[in-house]
């Protein structure tokens, strides 16, 4: 079971995948009329509790007076994404060494805002979808397919066989994003701010792309870098 906390997160799930919600628990002193109506419309159990009982469940999480208990997060199948017709191809974002749930949640939210992206995350040395990730994503997980794989390297080979180009984001010695023309369909590999992309993964890149940063020699947060690249990819796709 995974819990969702807060109005926006639960409303987005009710709009898109209400069937994944098992029950909704509300603080009876908080007005959650819209959520209650949507829950009843979708035959979802709705329980209102007094403050003390509700607080014992929420455990001081910023819940805005509402919690939803949902089924485990369902990952998508990569093959279904790769088999989309050419006119419906979406850009893949493969994450390497991303272990911070805050970063993954922000990346989910950003990619959902831009649209036509899917995330690929490895099972090992990477954070999985958990309650913290979903809290930060604020409903973004409902609009972006997330694929979990055992190892990125064979997946990149599979992606290339399906006609995708693979571009990796690096701090130095890559093509300047301001001058680079992405090839589509595209798989963009993003690494963590401290370790970057794994060396074994770098060997399978078709291109390396760099964000020019003439200021202080600091690395960008992975979620911030992803937002910039998502913007540029979306601009060029148009």
Chain segment 27-36, per-residue pLDDT in tens: 998 888 999 9
Whether the Cβ atoms of residue 75 and residue 10 lie closer than 8 Å to each other:
no
Q: How far is CA 146 from CA 154, 163, 214, 218, in A?
A: 17, 20, 34, 29
- Whether the predicted pLDDT of 69 surpasses 80: yes
Whether the Cβ atoms of residue 96 and residue 152 lie closer than 8 Å to each other:
yes
Whether the Cβ atoms of residue 129 and residue 98 lie closer than 8 Å to each other:
no
Distance from C-alpha of 22 to C-alpha of 7, rounded to nearest angstrom? 16
- Whether the predicted pLDDT of 70 surpasses 90: yes
pLDDT at residue number 198: 83
Distance from C-alpha of 85 to C-alpha of 51, rounded to nearest angstrom? 51
Chain segment 74-130, per-residue pLDDT in tens: 999 999 999 999 989 999 999 998 999 999 999 999 999 999 999 999 998 889 999
Asked, as a colleague might, if the bond just before 185 is cis with ω within 30 of 0, I would say yes
Dihedral class, residue 196 (left if φ above 0, else alpha if ψ from -120 to 50, else beta): left
* Helices 7-16 and 33-41, packing angle to 10 deg: 20
- Whether the predicted pLDDT of 172 surpasses 80: no
Chain segment 2-29, per-residue pLDDT in tens: 999 999 999 999 999 999 999 999 999 8
pLDDT at residue number 61: 80
Chain segment 189-237, per-residue pLDDT in tens: 998 877 778 888 888 999 999 888 777 666 678 999 999 999 999 999 9
pLDDT at residue number 226: 94
pLDDT at residue number 216: 67
Distance from C-alpha of 229 to C-alpha of 225, rounded to nearest angstrom? 6
For the chain, what is the mean pLDDT?
A: 92
Domains in the chain: ranges and CATH: 2-70 (3.30.1330.30), 78-237 (3.40.1280.10)
SS3 48: strand
């Amino acid at each position: 079971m995974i819990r969702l906390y807060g109005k926006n997160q639960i409303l987005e799930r009710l709009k898109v995948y209400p069937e994944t919600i098992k029950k909704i628990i509300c603080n009876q002193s908080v007005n959650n009329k819209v959520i209650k109506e949507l829950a009843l419309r979708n035959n979802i159990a709705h329980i209102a509790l007094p403050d003390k009982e509700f607080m014992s469940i929420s455990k001081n999480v910023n819940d805005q007076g509402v919690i939803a208990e949902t089924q485990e997060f369902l990952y998508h199948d990569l093959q279904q994404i790769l088999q989309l017709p050419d006119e419906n191809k979406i850009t893949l974002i493969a994450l390497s060494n991303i272990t911070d749930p805050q970063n993954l949640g922000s990346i989910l939210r950003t990619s959902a805002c831009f649209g036509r992206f899917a995330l690929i995350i490895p099972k090992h040395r990477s954070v999985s979808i958990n309650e913290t990730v979903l809290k930060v994503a604020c409903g973004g997980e409902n609009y972006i397919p997330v694929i979990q794989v055992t190892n990125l390297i064979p997946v990149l080979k599979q992606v290339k066989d399906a006609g995708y180009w693979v571009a990796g984001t690096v701090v130095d010695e890559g093509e300047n994003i301001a001058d680079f023309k992405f090839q589509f369909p595209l798989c963009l590999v993003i690494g963590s701010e401290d370790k970057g992309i794994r060396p074994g993964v770098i060997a399978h890149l078709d291109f390396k792309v760099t964000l020019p940063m003439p200021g202080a020699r600091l690395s960008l947060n992975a979620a911030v870098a992803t937002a910039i690249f998502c913007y540029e990819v979306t601009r060029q796709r148009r």
